[in-house]
A and B are shown apart, each in its own frame.
Chain A
Amino acid sequence: MKISGKAVVYNHDNISTDQIFPGQYGYIQDMKEMAEHTLEGADRTIRERFRTVGNIFVSGSNFGCGSSREFAVIVLIESGVKAVIVKSAARIWYRNAVNLGLPVLFCPTLPDAVAEGAEVEIDLEKGTVLDVATGALHQGEAPSEFIIGIYREGGIKPLMRKKALERSQKKERAGD
């Protein structure tokens, strides 16, 4: 899987889900309305930069720590983010991203090196990201085959739908 785009950089550590999507908006049921609050607790300009600058989001270590709220992934997707490159991420946030098909690359060196708006190319299977302007190839952590498998399906919702359809087809064949 290859993803390319321009970087929006917010290179800080421990960005919590309370900052990515503040809890008081959690009962909003409309995704577009939710996305109006993307990263509001960190920097209110980022959401606009996803429109004007690029759609590869770059941040520091332990990204997405705190609450299990999946909205902290959903609002990034709704804001047009195509991939996230961080030094490291909190477990539940990462798992939510995988489940929703948002590619995440753990790369310790790129966040400190990349410029806002720089063109980057991610090769997810290899775990690399190329900074096109400087030519620097940053080696990150390649996701496991298991995770790549979920990404290839576009997340676990399509995967589960496929399973459900297979189950019902089997039932039909069995004649019940």
Chain B
Amino acid sequence: MATTAMHATHKILAAAAGKDHVSPGEVVTAKVDLAGINDVYLIVVRSFREMLGTKVWDPRKVYIFLDHNTPASDLKVAEAQKAFREFAGEQGCCLTEINEGIGHNLLPERGLARPGSVIVITDSHTPIHGAYGAFAAGLGATDMAAVLIEGSTWFRVPDVVNIRLTGKPGPGIMAKDAALSILGRLGTDFGTYKVIEFSGPVVEDLPMEERMVLTVMATEMGAKSAFIKPDRTTIDDVKGYTSEPFTVYETDPGFRYAAEYEFDLSGLKPQVALPHSVDNVRNVEEAEGIPIDQVFVGSCTGGKLYDIETVAKTLAGKKIAGGTRLVVTMSTRETVQKAIRKGYYQILLDAGASITSPGCGACSGLLGGIVAARERCVSTANRNFPGRMGGSVEAEVYLASPLTAAATALTGKLTSPERL
């Protein structure tokens, strides 16, 4: 049989399925290298029991992340987290505690996001780990319960879309602006059931934390998974955290993408997604001056050290505008520690920020910066659906880069960082 050229992510799935070759559309059963559950989904444990599960297939590969609601905001949450601790104790699997931060950001810090691995987590933003050359997809709770028993799950081998980022982005432009401009042009479902690969000279120049913004925002483009070809930057980063071996798969020459797009970022202006859709994107300058009640800097997307550094450097020696709140939720404990050592924590406090403990925070809409009806929030997170930040469908969420968020905090109005 003539074999067609394969994409790197197809090779990952083929290896995990024990096959030499897979093709888009084919359903494969792939072994999982890491299965993660976050604290919203105690239902995984219930489904595990209903499926007559007794022991997880490999406790070293199962992670429970207490990250969505930390420290517990009410009794139901406290009970769920207690049940998770008991399950982890019984099964001997790994559990990250309420002080440690967002699972998605803990994986790279622990060398668990590795090229060539198959990662499934009960969280839609799991494609973030494609920045490390992993095949990473979000799963629902019942799916996850089956993974805990069998150590594998089924995937329909996806088509791949390639997005090349070229040109010379200006100094006020971050990966978030690039992601929002892609969403503005291509919408929220062009990547459904597909892998979105990000490539091109702009991507190659980005640090890992900025690459993760592209791959996490692929979720908002509908993607099943995302991918950035591992390079020196990736490999050095991973080796800085782990000595575990990993495999870098290369896409075959002549591989046919389902679609290819090029975005020339030269001259791109700072971008904002207006309420209530991630693809309702404008140049910030077109919407400048809208009064903003709260600025939220946080989440797996916008609460990394790079984001905190960006905001702190913009706010250094300044105060946020009266009438505006700045809520900062750093992604992990390590981020907090580094922010303290580098002086960013002090700068943010001095500027007037409310700094919460690390975790998903207000992005989950559960605690730590809920927005009231008819209030407006500029957020460095990833979605602005109605009700996303705490349930009021009348609360307005504007998605922007950390730079735009910082500029906005200083004026109390939506502000382009080009004015700084």
Question: Is B322 part of the binding interface, using a Cβ–Cβ cutoff of 8 Å?
Answer: no
Residue in A67, A71, A88 with the greatest tally of chain B CB atoms within 10 Å: A67
Q: What 0/1 readout, one digit per residue, does chain B (351-387) give for beta carbons within 8 Å of chain A?
A: 0000000000000111000000000000000010111
Question: Is B80 part of the binding interface, using a Cβ–Cβ cutoff of 8 Å?
Answer: yes
What residues of chain B lie closer than 8 Å to A144, measured between beta carbons?
Answer: 27, 156
Taken together as a complex, chains A and B put the C-alpha atoms of A92 and B390 apart, in Å, by 22
What residues of chain A lie closer than 8 Å to B386, measured between beta carbons?
Answer: 16, 18-19, 41
B365 touching A27 by the CB < 8 A rule?
Answer: no
B142 touching A96 by the CB < 8 A rule?
Answer: yes
At the interface with chain B, which of A118-126, A132-140, A156-164?
Answer: A156-164
What residues of chain B lie closer than 8 Å to A169, measured between beta carbons?
Answer: none
Interface footprint category on B: 35 or more
What residues of chain B lie closer than 8 Å to A24, measured between beta carbons?
Answer: 365-366, 390-391
B193 touching A69 by the CB < 8 A rule?
Answer: no
Beyond A156-B146, A157-B50, whether A146 also contacts B27 by CB under 8 A is yes
A99 touching B222 by the CB < 8 A rule?
Answer: no
B222 touching A65 by the CB < 8 A rule?
Answer: yes
B44 CB, nearest partner CB in chain A, Å: 9
Chain A count of residues within 8 A CB distance of the other chain: 40
Beyond A19-B387, A22-B391, A164-B53, whether A90 also contacts B143 by CB under 8 A is no
B138 touching A68 by the CB < 8 A rule?
Answer: yes
Question: Is A7 part of the binding interface, using a Cβ–Cβ cutoff of 8 Å?
Answer: no
Taken together as a complex, chains A and B put the C-alpha atoms of A143 and B51 apart, in Å, by 25
Question: Is A128 part of the binding interface, using a Cβ–Cβ cutoff of 8 Å?
Answer: no
Q: What 0/1 readout, one digit per residue, does chain B (95-125) give for beta carbons within 8 Å of chain A?
A: 0000000000000000000000000001110
What residues of chain A lie closer than 8 Å to B199, measured between beta carbons?
Answer: none
What residues of chain A lie closer than 8 Å to B142, measured between beta carbons?
Answer: 70, 96, 99-100, 155-157
Question: Is A26 part of the binding interface, using a Cβ–Cβ cutoff of 8 Å?
Answer: yes
Q: Identify 16 new A-B residue pairs, CB closer than 8 A, beyond the known A24-B365, A27-B80.
A: A14-B189, A16-B386, A18-B365, A23-B40, A24-B366, A24-B390, A26-B366, A27-B40, A27-B69, A41-B386, A61-B189, A66-B383, A96-B141, A96-B142, A144-B156, A157-B51
Interface, chain A (partner B; CB < 8 A):
14, 16, 18-19, 22-24, 26-29, 41, 61-62, 65-71, 73-74, 88, 90-92, 95-96, 99-100, 144, 146, 155-157, 160-161, 164-165
Instruction: Give me 22 A-to-B residue pairs in the complex whose CB atoms sit less than 8 angstroms apart, sorted by A's number.
Output: A18-B388, A19-B385, A23-B40, A23-B364, A24-B391, A28-B76, A65-B222, A66-B383, A67-B123, A68-B124, A68-B126, A90-B222, A92-B140, A95-B140, A96-B140, A96-B141, A156-B51, A156-B146, A157-B142, A161-B52, A164-B51, A164-B52
Interface, chain B (partner A; CB < 8 A):
27, 40-43, 47, 50-53, 68-69, 74, 76-77, 79-80, 122-124, 126, 138-143, 145-146, 149, 154, 156, 188-189, 192-193, 222, 224, 277, 364-366, 383, 385-388, 390-391, 393
